Chain A
């Protein structure tokens, strides 16, 4: 299911990292990062929409408060 083999990943590893999480953890991390990225993206868009509307209503409110 997940491709496992010699790769360039060693080059991306730190020269000093003494923590070897094992191949299972790296594969899990890639899979889980893919899943949670969807939630993260939705969350970011949600925040943008929220700040847009809160800014929009704030402006309206300020406009209506003007004499």
Chain B
């Protein structure tokens, strides 16, 4: 079970050679960073004068972290490391706080990004024979253009459908015999529920694979997508600060996401102590760009949480694997002092066929205590009319959640279709507690 490999020389590179390449590229990146006012100041603060100060990869910890707030502060030109004429594209992200950040790309940066995405696509067995429908937003969001150019480089027939307009998505899939799609997991679930209304059955589609990403999701969600569409779904990881998609991707074996270590230097740290995590311990992913000219970033704190998968992947690639993204360090909810992630709640709901895939987590203050409510929708097809069965269901979900997250929530059942369905990144948490 192996697919043609896009860049065997790099993907199978011995660890020792890979680390030599990383060190050389890290020095180049530091040299590049020193062309920006932002890093001139930052690196001077830690007493680093030039790339020659880095004797080995172990010296990485001398470098300062870079945060999203740093990018906001440096906006718009504080992190541009090349002449503006050399930059050929920028992507900005506004984030939820509204303060923008920007990443610039030279022609070589874009070429490097495209190569990484092509590597990812090929690792799933997709080839030039595939018809690819890209259902993520084109424009400033990096998911659309990132996959688009990678898929073109692989030679796939690309349909730049962009996001939304479910009815048209389904017609395109049917009319062109689409074999591979790229979308968020929540959108694929939505798309499946819309097939019947469009009068399209699975047999009329030729879908074989989906690339899913851009929002944290559980293994159950992936399996559910695979079962509903009778396809294979491959996890994609990326973030706009690191180009976008193409940072890490699952191969055919689906045992974690290979992170391209010739392009990104990976650390996993405890977000509170800012110290490296032990092997297989969950922490925040920290990445340093190794090939980027226009916007080099050193030790960028992604706020995404994951851990390394130990052992070797049967595919033989030497690039290490990340476990699926567990959540964001800023997604973490603290309920009565207990840390938990929405993804843990989603996992329980996915195992319960009587409720749908839509849910909403609501947190309120009741006196001194936090009250966690998990709102779900019942599945109309499994409603028998027996209220006692529903009360039992509510209690069963509540108990399952208690053992998963160590907090007993109030579970609410609602009518099918009454909770908000998001076509992009789903908004699942409403925190009504007063801010301090």
A and B together in one complex? no
Using a CB–CB cutoff of 8 Å, the interface residues on chain B facing chain A are none
Using a CB–CB cutoff of 8 Å, the interface residues on chain A facing chain B are none
